[in-house]
Amino acid sequence: MTFEQLGLNAPILNALKELDYHAPSPIQEKAIPPALAGRDVLGCAQTGTGKTCAFAAPILQRLSAETVSGRPIRALVLTPTRELAIQIGESFEAYGKYLSLRHAVIFGGVGQNPQVEALRRGVDILVATPGRLMDLHDQGFVSLDELDIFVLDEADRMLDMGFIHDVKKILKWLPRQKQTLFFSATMPPEISDLVNSLLHDPARVAVDPISSPVEAIEQSVYFVDKNNKIRLLAHLMGQLGVKNALVFTRTKHGANKVARDLEKAGVTAAAIHGNKSQTARQQALSDFKAGNIRCLVATDIAARGLDIEELSHVFNYNLPEVPETYVHRIGRTGRAGRGGAAIAFCDFGEKPLLRDIEKLIGKQLPVVEDHPYPMEVFQAPKRDKNGRVVNEEDQEARAAAREKRRARDEAAKAAAKEKRQVQQEQQVQAAQVLEQAQPAAKKRRRRGRGKAQSEFAETVQVMEPQSESPSARDKRPRRGVRSGTLMDTGDAMPRTEFHRPSPLDSDVIMDATARLLAPRPLTLSGGQDQNTGRRRKGKKPAHKSQEQAVQTQHAPKQQPAAHKSAPGGKSAKGDKTAHQGRKDRTTPQKRSRGGYQRGLPPEPHRQQKDSTEQPSLMKPFYINVGR
């Protein structure tokens, strides 16, 4: 039979051809037709027989045939591990290469922001692990109201990993009308109730007996003491020419220890388990697939669903306590019809586990006796007070965990103690600094008070009048210098404007007082002005003798140079004419309400603006009055 006979459409067939899928496997041949018809499917097949393609191809074809606006989540694939979720996502991408459907993979151990962004853009198919799916659903980023197809992959491992309660909670979020595809390598009786509650009239597909190993795998067992297992493993890696090998241990602590011991023996190895970060797990898996390391040491949970092409050997370093787990382990090799080798190490305490495995697979494993580390310890395993076998490796793991926890607690206590000591030292240093700072502060305050007193004394001394020498008075800047005068201060501060005189200076006050006390100009007989000779309006001529007496009393005996008559004996009128002739140089005195403005004529080429800018009137006034 071919894939064309199964009813798949052309885009999916073209993608399968590019992947070199020529003929469907038994599980694909029996599961794809009922899945395309919309029926529930219960598929049971051994690991490595192509279960992913058995449910991925029908999902892609059904969703591509229906057009829905908004891209809601229409198919959900629930898987137990992050590695398996990533591989299923890669399969959807490969099979749906020529379709316009979108898919997203969400899992824990990494940041959720990229996964949230993918969900916001819209996805048709969601592949998820239970923990991250519940987290994003509670945050409101996942809506499963329009779900059409639900796939539960590796259902038996969901039960073993304790996800059964999470699965039941997720089932309550799903619509009642949906198609359910249930796939698992084994079908333990414990999950029969879950299968019956999930599926409605399912198409039961069983390929080969349940939990039967692949016949193409060459199986063998080595009886070896527990302490010599790592030596035997390193010996076989070289003797058998192992290209790449997957080593299974019971515990995470055991996986780390085996990886370290192999590195010491010269075999490149890396550990992968649940305590590793997602980045470390992906890096180790990538290096193993790329051939950078020969040996990948893993626990059952981490290795579940790993799809490694051309894996040559699988080593059971510790026999599993559940017989079905042995089938999962050796199913990592011999995939897609290829050959492979599965080697088991068994110490004296693990012989009961070996009998359970042989009973499950229905045959005895061939024993290899020719090896350098034969079994020499034939003691019954230790049992606890309840009669249960005490696993020494588990005890070592628990002891290592306790030691690690104790070291972590001691480190935390030491850090806290060191922090307290640092704080105490800082407090002591702060107190010492404060004690040292107090005398210095007092000294600064005393120094400040002394400095303030000295500055006050200097100020008082400056304010007190002191006798100056003539040379010092000549060098002292003159007070009352007109504003705008520029000084030559050299290169440091060229052409700096000199200070404006204070209006409270004694010279300024005396000048203003002199102007206020200066007498008005006297009028001649007949109401004539003494300067112009014109008759003043509204004034009666005074008695001649009185006018002459007043003129004689107040007339200056010696006029200043500025008030002398012009050459040639010209009168005041002629003087006025002379002033008018100088209009191009000065502005003439203007007439005011009480007569002409008092004071001396303005300086040439400058108009008077303010009384403080006029020359002092003290000298001519007191000279005239005194005489």
Residue by residue, DSSP assigns 117-164 as HHHHH--SEEEE-HHHHHHHHHTT----TT--EEEEESHHHHHHTT-H
Alpha-carbon distances, residue 143 vs 85, 182, 512 (angstroms): 19, 22, 96
**What pLDDT, in 10s, does the model give residues 246-266?**
999 988 888 889 999 999 999
Percent above pLDDT 90 for the chain: 25
| 584 falls within a domain | no
Region 91-104 average pLDDT: 92
Strand partners, 528: 524, 535
Whether residues 228 and 163 share a domain: the answer is: no
How far is C-alpha 611 from the geometric centre of its chain's CA atoms?
73
| 39 falls within a domain | yes
* Residues in CB range of 485: below 8 A, 6 or more apart: 497, 498
Whether residues 177 and 247 share a domain: the answer is: no
pLDDT-derived band at 80 (thresholds 50, 70, 90) equals confident
Alpha-carbon distances, residue 133 vs 80, 371, 564 (angstroms): 11, 49, 117
Whether residues 195 and 226 share a domain: the answer is: no
pLDDT value, residue 116: 93
Whether residues 297 and 238 share a domain: the answer is: yes
pLDDT-derived band at 551 (thresholds 50, 70, 90) equals very low
Q: Which of 162, 181, 206 is the last residue of a domain?
A: 206
Q: Which of 396, 414, 430 is the last residue of a domain?
A: 396
Structure tokens at 379: 């003691």
Whether residues 168 and 224 share a domain: the answer is: no
| 242 falls within a domain | yes
Query: How many domains is the chain built from?
Result: 3
Q: Which of 371, 396, 421 is the last residue of a domain?
A: 396
pLDDT value, residue 625: 46
How much is the mean pLDDT over the chain?
Answer: 75
**What pLDDT, in 10s, does the model give residues 373-419?**
998 888 776 777 776 666 666 666 677 777 888 888 888 898 999 99
Whether residues 182 and 305 share a domain: the answer is: no
Lowest model confidence (mean pLDDT) among 23-27, 65-69, 348-352, 565-569: 565-569
The CA distance from 460 to 465, in Å, is 10
pLDDT value, residue 561: 43
For residue 337, the enclosing domain spans 217-396
Whether residues 330 and 262 share a domain: the answer is: yes
CATH number of the domain that 40 lies in?
Answer: 3.40.50.300
Which tops the pLDDT comparison, 160 or 592? 160
The predicted model scores a pTM of: 0.51
Cβ atoms 505, 480 nearer than 8 A? yes
| 589 falls within a domain | no
Alpha-carbon distances, residue 579 vs 572, 576, 584 (angstroms): 10, 5, 10
Collapsing DSSP to helix, strand or coil, 313 comes out as strand
The CA distance from 279 to 286, in Å, is 10
Collapsing DSSP to helix, strand or coil, 621 comes out as helix
The CA distance from 193 to 215, in Å, is 31
Region 48-60 average pLDDT: 87
Percent above pLDDT 70 for the chain: 65
Which tops the pLDDT comparison, 16 or 571? 16
- Of the spans 92-96, 159-163, 319-323, which averages the highest pLDDT? 92-96
The CA distance from 211 to 188, in Å, is 10
The CA distance from 588 to 461, in Å, is 49
Whether residues 202 and 271 share a domain: the answer is: no
Whether residues 250 and 371 share a domain: the answer is: yes
| 558 falls within a domain | yes
pLDDT-derived band at 142 (thresholds 50, 70, 90) equals very high
**What pLDDT, in 10s, does the model give residues 474-529?**
555 554 444 444 445 455 444 444 455 566 666 777 777 777 777 665 554 444 54
Whether residues 158 and 249 share a domain: the answer is: no
| 598 falls within a domain | no
The amino acid at residue 241 is: G
Whether residues 507 and 387 share a domain: the answer is: no
| 16 falls within a domain | yes
Whether 604 has a pLDDT exceeding 80, the answer reads no
Whether residues 30 and 162 share a domain: the answer is: yes
Cβ atoms 126, 55 nearer than 8 A? no
| 132 falls within a domain | yes
